[in-house]
Amino acid sequence: MPLMTSWVPGANSPDTDFPLNNLPYGVFSTDEMDERCGVAIGDMIFDCARAEEEGLIALSDSPLFDVPFWNEVMEAGPEVWAALRARLVELLGDEANRDAVAPLLVPMAEAVLHMPMLVSEYTDFYAGRHHATNVGTMFRGAENALPPNWLHIPIGYNGRASSVVVSGTDVRRPWGQLKSPDHDLPAFLPCRRFDLELEMGAIVGTASEGPVTVTEANEMIFGYVLLNDWSARDIQAWEYQPLGPFQAKATATTISPWIVTRAALEPFKCDTPEREFELLDHLKDAGPMLYDIDLRVTLAPEGKPATEIAHTNYREMYYSSAQQLAHHTTSGCPMTPGDLLGSGTISGAEKHERGSLLELSWGGKEPLTLDSGETRTFLEDGDTLTLTGAALGDGYRIGFGPCTGKVLPALEDPYAR
Ligand code: MN
């Protein structure tokens, strides 16, 4: 699909994350305006709340943009999603609408971005084969790297919606109970092995009551964001057996501010990899449901330039988000608009394609050297991590906007009060 041209400044640039082909959904405010829903286009944000007030968008009997989150649009369902996208293409693509629409554009440079939706629940999966193999090799040895269930179901755990934050939010190093290998007993200390996980987040747009098929699950997905699943590896290593991660993953999960829709990503869909075991019927592949999305991670020490530490692609996943969502419903578990599903860490086969410091430094044994000359095994206080991602078209990119966060030092003692 070629670039769709727009009259909005910056929208036809090959460097922008937000050409007319994209039209991602976010929430913004300015010094003069309260938080409201908007659409990124070039260097600008189109004010959906005002567009609805002025009758430029009229998609349902009750207002969709009277609240500063996208959940009401999600609940309105796929027909409204398609109608909204078609209307936005008209308004922002057709020069004839310029006089009516231009006053509703806000320069992105003047805006503060907020959480794009209310996160109802958050589930994190473990569906990247290279990541699971790397971590399993480190923890259990190469012979037992993949657990016996791994090639048959997308395994995951229920995370915390309450600590999902938008890009730009600082993240404080947690304290927790950890046990170093050379001690017999655990101690309560600040995390020493604080890490990132490069993931994609799928946002559920419509509710389910009973089990759904993979095809139905795909139709339920409203869009995707970048996701950093901050991970305290030393807390995780001590607590995870047998129920999986708990406090190691509860400090924060950062998402990028713009929800990129399935419609925008449609030209970039691709197949899941060859199956070693045939999947059972309820998880069988039902057409291409992964996406070719170029993903990068940079790390910038306090006051220093950023170094790219990882470069991989979403198509490396073994299970699609649609398969993860279908699996999530097999028990009858109801899914609701605003549910967030983390893909699992996305790593490729090569060393520079690994989506966590745990893998990049091989459990801390092989420090990385940054452009500043400093080395890293895990995150230091003051480090800023930035995830970026884009589907690369011919002369344009479908980008997500940065997913960034800075590590603040641990509190002196969280129980000293
Ligand atoms: Mn994760």
Residue 181, pLDDT > 90, answer: no
Nearest to 293 by CA among 133, 400, 135, 209: 400
Total-model pTM: 0.98
Which residues have C-beta within 8 Å of that of residue 151, sequence separation ≥ 6?
Answer: 275, 276, 277, 318
> What pLDDT does residue 139 have?
84
The β-bridge partners of 313 are 294
Tokens coding 102: 């231009």
Q: How far apart are CA 100 and CA 94, in angstroms?
A: 11
Q: How far is the CA of 245 from the centre of ligand 1 (A)?
A: 9
pLDDT computed for residue 397 by the predictor = 98
**What residue has token string 């097999």?**
330
How close is the Cα of 28 to the center of ligand 1, in Å? 27
Write the pLDDT tens digit of every residue in 239-281: 998 999 999 999 999 999 999 999 999 999 999 999 999 999 9
Q: Which domains does the chain have, with CATH numbers?
A: 25-114 (2.30.30.230), 122-408 (3.90.850.10)
Q: What is the whole-number distance in angstroms between the Cα of residue 117 and the centre of ligand 1? A: 20
pLDDT value at position 330? 98
Q: Taking 80 as the threshold, does the pLDDT of residue 326 lie above it?
A: yes
Ligand 1 centroid, distance to 189 Cα (angstroms) = 22
Ion ligand 1 neighbours (CB, 5 A) are 124, 197, 229
Q: Which residues contact 61 (CB under 8 A, 6 or more apart)?
A: none
Question: From ligand 1's centre to the CA of 344, what distance in Å?
Answer: 5
Q: Tokens 């470069």 identify what position?
A: 311
Token pair for 123? 């589930």
CA distance 304 to 204: 38
Write the pLDDT tens digit of every residue in 196-243: 999 999 999 999 999 999 999 999 999 999 999 999 999 999 999 899
**β-bridge mates for residue 294, sequence order:** 313, 390
Residues tagged active-site? 131
Mean pLDDT of the chain: 97
Phi, psi of 197 (to 5 degrees): -135, 120
Asked whether 288 and 266 are in contact (CB, 8 A), the reply is: no
